[in-house]
Each structure stands twice: as C-alpha cells, then as structure tokens.
Amino acid sequence: MSARCFLPLLLALSAQADFFRLDSISNVSSYYFNYIYCNIWEGECQPNQDDATQQVPTRDLWSGIPQDYISLLHQWYCSLGQCCESGDCRVTNNITGLARDLQMKLHGQHLAQSVVLKATQGFINNPESNKPLTLSFHGWSGTGKNYVARIIADNLYRDGVKSECVRLFIAPFHFPHARLVDTYKLREAIRDMVLRCPQTLFIFDEAEKLHPGLIDAIKPFMDHYDNVDGVSYRRAIFLFLSNIGGATINDVALDFWHSGQNREDIGMEDLEHRLRTETMESQGGFAQSELMSGHLIDFYVPFLPLEYRHVKLCARDAYVARGLETDEATLDEVAKAMLLDADVQSDRDICSEPRGEAAAAASRAFLLTVTSPCDGPDGRTRCCCDPQTR
C-alpha cells in the first residue's frame, strides 16, 4: 500500500496534538504506537494512571479521525495475515463447513459422518479438554478414510492439508524399518510441530504397520497430562487410519444386506465393541502398544463398504469436480466395472472386486478419468469414493 494512503491519517493525528498535550517527539511516537496497538491491532490496553502525559488515547478521543482512514490501516495490517478472530490465522475451525462437506461429499458413510462431526465439534468447542482428540478410522482401502482426513484438514485449517499445522505420516514410507525406531525422531517432530501450532493435526496412514515402539514413544502426548516436558498437547488432534476391522465391518454390512435391512440402520453399537476387540487382537503396533491398553483412543470410526449407488455418486462428483458433463449410462458403466457380478439387480448391490483382469483394466481406465484407483489389503482394486486424483 502506498505511503500516501497514510498521509491524511498522519496529518489528522498531528492536528490533534495540542488536544493530547504532546510535549515531545517521543510522546508523539508513543501516542501513535498506542493508538495503533489499541485500535488497529485490537490489543489489551489500559491507561497509565500514574502519568497523565502517557495515558493511552481511547477510541472516543479519536472519533474525529475519518473512519475510512482507520479502516484502511486496519485492512492493510490484516492483509499481512496477522489479524484473526481465532488468534491464529492458520486455524479456521469451520464446523459448519465440516458438517456440510461430510454430508454432501462423503457417500455411504453415515456412521463416519456422525461420529467425526460430533467428536470434532465437541473437541473444538471445549478449550478445556484434558487430552488431545484421538480418532481411529477403520475399513478397507477405498472407503473414504483418507478423504475424511482431508475434509477435516480443509475445514479446520486455512491451507488444508498443505497447512504447516497438518502433518501426514505414512507408516511404510516414513518408518519402514523396525530396527531404526530410535532414529526416526518422531517425538521431536511432534513436539516441534505443537510448539509452532498448538492445534496440530497428525495423520498416521496405514497405522497398523507402525512399530509398537513408535506408538509407545508418542503415547504420553495423547494421555491426560497438563504438559510433557513443558509442552501442552491438549489441543492437538491425532488420526490413525488402518485396514484393521475391514472384514468385520463388511460382515456386519452383509448381514444387514442379506436380511433386507437398510445400511443406515447399522449403529455404532453393532460395530464399536467388535472393532475395539479386533484391534486389540490384531498383529502390529496397535495391539501391542500402550495406546490400546491405556484406552486413549476416543472413538473408533467404521467405514462401510460402498454400494452400487454410492459408486455412481462418487463418479458423478468426480466428473463435476473436473467440470465435465456426464449421464446415467456413463455412471452405470463405471459402477458396473467395480462390481464382481455384471448383472446388477439393485442400487444396493455391494461393491466388490472387479470381474477378472479385463474388468480390472476397464475399472482402472475409468478411474484414471473419474476417480482414483484404490487397492484393498489383498492388493485387488476396490471402490473408491475420492473424486480427487492422488
């Protein structure tokens, strides 16, 4: 902004000098600083009662200054990225947007929609929480776990997953060797992140492959402590994404499907205990870590297998996201390529493995332009409800 924008403001301030009995250049500087601090930066300012010559000007005393000039200076300061109601411009905590995105963009996951929204909203609205928020996402690949993690990041942080307040760890990539656990410096990385941004979002993908030593190393950060070595982690958020429990979730969904019940009737009471049990009995870091024995996971979030109708909705969203037009025939073709049985009888047919190598190739061809290929725990392609290319 040009300096001439501030010239009228400075002239106006100078015209008021006699009114404030400014006796020296130092007093002028002090008053200008105090004015900007109290009125532009919205600082906590109280008059100095001991020295009448150093009392901080109040807003009423500046009522003669044109508001346009005050607004101009305020807008310039905020344009620097330092002026936010939340106190941290990187953090937006848009719960309304989170609810909307979960409702409109996530298909076939009514349990995840409900649990994630309630857990996140409750945590954000409770600044006195006695521990970080820890969520564990469960289900086969392609059901939306990473997608929901991204939705959370997009609505809680100004820059989404690119924010310096968001950190993604992929277990096989970042921590490939069990014998090198002590060299990965995960504790230091988490501590440095929280020091820079107290409400940091940590995402651990393929968490079932984490070494138990790694989880135990960061377990104190998720526990009920005021601080750990002088640092408070109570505003941090930890997400663990894994395939653990995928078969159990599918079995429950199939039982409802075979009995003619709506999948929307599946409740947390049908899955949460089974997920907790299977997680504790599974192989890998989760079962062997103190994270489980200490009951530090706040919510186990199940992701159900997608039905035919959900795959069509995902394909439609992917086309729309790319500004492309589509029709029902194209959406049907994409969805059918993702089903084991080519003879689709109902929109409630459940997504499964493609039909052989030819169907798998067709699915991948469609998904390259519509959505992204997802591999299940056995290496075979399954449905994916993520309209963005990875």
Per-residue pLDDT of the chain (390 residues; tens, 9 = 90+): 455 554 455 455 454 444 444 444 444 455 445 555 454 444 445 444 344 444 444 444 445 566 666 567 656 656 655 566 666 889 999 999 999 999 999 999 999 999 999 999 999 999 999 999 999 999 998 899 999 999 999 999 999 999 999 999 998 888 888 777 777 788 999 999 999 999 999 999 998 888 888 888 889 999 998 999 999 999 999 999 999 999 999 999 999 989 989 999 999 999 988 988 888 887 766 667 777 777 899 999 999 998 888 888 988 888 888 888 888 988 888 888 766 544 444 555 555 433 333 333 334 444 444 444 343 334 443 444 444 433
pTM: 0.71
Q: Specify whether the CB–CB gap between 275 and 297 falls below 8 A.
A: no
Q: Can you say whether the dihedral through the CA atoms of 246, 252, 253, 254 is positive or negative?
A: positive
Tokens read off for 120? 């996140």
Specify the DSSP element, H or E, that contains 275.
helix 268-281
Find residue 374's DSSP bridge partners: 382
Q: Specify whether the CB–CB gap between 70 and 40 falls below 8 A.
A: yes
Cα–Cα nearest to 217, from 152, 283, 169: 169
Q: Specify whether the CB–CB gap between 348 and 265 falls below 8 A.
A: no
**What are the residue ranges of helices labelled H in 125-235?**
145-156, 171-174, 186-196, 212-218
Q: Specify whether the CB–CB gap between 390 and 372 falls below 8 A.
A: yes
Distance CA 69, CA 128 (A): 39
Q: Specify whether the CB–CB gap between 326 and 249 falls below 8 A.
A: no
Q: Quote the Cα angle for 341-343-345, to 5°.
A: 110
The domain 95-306 having CATH identifier 3.40.50.12190: the answer here is: yes
Distance CA 107, CA 144 (A): 9
Distance CA 124, CA 112 (A): 18
Tokens read off for 74? 């305020």
Q: Specify whether the CB–CB gap between 236 and 203 falls below 8 A.
A: no
Looking at residue 276, its pLDDT comes to 87
| Residue for token pair 């968001």 | 166
Find residue 91's DSSP bridge partners: 157
**Packing angle between helix 110-124 and helix 268-281, nearest 10 degrees?**
80
Give the CA count within 13 Å in the CB-facing half-sphere of 169: 23
CA 106 to chain centre: 14
Cα–Cα nearest to 54, from 34, 38, 40: 34
Distance CA 330, CA 232 (A): 52
Q: What percent of the chain has pLDDT over 90?
A: 38
Looking at residue 178, its pLDDT comes to 73
Looking at residue 259, its pLDDT comes to 92
Looking at residue 192, its pLDDT comes to 94
Looking at residue 144, its pLDDT comes to 93
Integer angstrom CA distances of residue 201 from 148, 154, 163, 169, 273: 13, 11, 10, 11, 26
